[in-house]
Amino acid sequence: MFFGFCFSAFLFGVVMGEFSESDNLQQFPLPWETILGEYKQALETANKSPKTIDGYLGNLRKYFSFLGTHGLMKPVHKLGVKESREYIMHLQNRERWPNNPHIKEEHRGRLSQFTVLAHVRDIKTFWSWLYKETYIDDNPLAGLPLPGVPNNLIKIITPEQFRILLSNIDTSTPDGSKYCCILLILYDSGIRISELMMIRIDDCDLQNKTIMVMGKGRVERLVPTTVYTRKHIMKYMGEARSKLCPENCPYLFANRDGEPISKNSVQQFMRRLLAKSGIKGVKFSPHIVRHSFATQFLANGGSIFHLKEILGHKSLTTTLRYTHLQLQDIQKQHAKFSPVAQLFMNKS
């Protein structure tokens, strides 16, 4: 009853021109905010991280804002595939960073297919929750296919390229020591940048050769480290860290205010380092380093089951999707195990 009254008021507002193109969800009928508030509580009780929750709700608000400004808003039980397809088409044709004057023209283009996929996945997940919570009698989006994305082979950073990158860091400076340490931890353990940012001093058990990280779903796990990385951690902590952040700051990597180092600062450093090194044809980011670690771990003979635990994956399927054998590794294995190679192996 209350929802019907609010929705009627919303329609009246649209007809009278009360809602403009710039209106956001805060000006939509209360029930949507109420439902999203309950969804937020459900995500929190499911132990989702604040960042994940903000991402889910942000994408949903954009969806509802689109419906409102394009005259597609309906009661929840009447929304379905048609409105969602309209939104998918809108996303597929939307420009990246349309109002950011600092983004160069050649970097704009349309939203990536992976971004569109993330939006649609969040909407489908929300509709599944609506159905489970009996807000709706059936789930019309259950059969809505996810948009396809390219399955491109990611170009990893090779060990030799990583050596070159490290050699271009001036580790005699506090910042150089810090970022060298950061890159070694990322490449040595394959942890996510979000996990690295939150590492505390107390999480580093160098005597037992491990670092405790907080993974997705707030699940803690221990990741091993090599002696080379541990030496750099001790050097950074002993010589550089006190010059970069307050000594009583709990985080291993922090800014001068004692807050955890930002993802953007690490990404910016990696971009500058790649340009300085002169390496062409590859990207260098925390995510690429994670892929590089996983790929090299397997190529060097590591177990896929051990890799799953190190990366913090719940499913082995995720680990398999996450890694890509490079062409040279495939060629080596083919030369060794091809039936034709076996056929002529003992022939002189």
Q: What is the pLDDT of residue 22?
A: 36
* Closest to 29 measured CA to CA, from 47, 12, 53: 12
Q: What is the pLDDT of residue 238?
A: 93
- Which domains does the chain possess? 2-98+108-132 (1.10.150.130), 159-334 (1.10.443.10)
Q: What is the pLDDT of residue 101?
A: 57
Out of 49-53, 70-74, 104-108, 256-260, which region has the weakest mean confidence (pLDDT)?
A: 104-108
Nearest-10 crossing angle of helices 174-189, 263-277: 100
What are the DSSP calls for 50-66, one per residue? Answer: HHHHHHHHHHHHHHHHH
> pTM, whole model, 2 decimals?
0.66
Nearest-10 crossing angle of helices 30-45, 113-132: 90
Q: What is the pLDDT of residue 34?
A: 82
Pick the more confident residue, 315 or 105. 315
- H-type alpha helices, 16-167: 30-45, 50-69, 81-92, 113-132, 159-167
Average pLDDT over residues 14-27: 37
**Average pLDDT across the chain, whole number:** 82
Confidence of residue 324 (pLDDT cuts 50, 70, 90): low
The answer to whether residue 346 scores a pLDDT higher than 80 is: no
The answer to whether residue 271 scores a pLDDT higher than 90 is: yes
The answer to whether residue 115 scores a pLDDT higher than 50 is: yes
Out of 148-152, 247-251, 275-279, which region has the weakest mean confidence (pLDDT)?
A: 148-152
Q: What whole-number distance in Å separates Cα of residue 288 and Cα of residue 296?
A: 12
Confidence of residue 201 (pLDDT cuts 50, 70, 90): very high
Q: What is the pLDDT of residue 21?
A: 35
Q: What whole-number distance in Å separates Cα of residue 216 and Cα of residue 102?
A: 32
Confidence of residue 345 (pLDDT cuts 50, 70, 90): low
Q: What is the pLDDT of residue 89?
A: 92
The answer to whether residue 23 scores a pLDDT higher than 70 is: no
The answer to whether residue 108 scores a pLDDT higher than 90 is: no
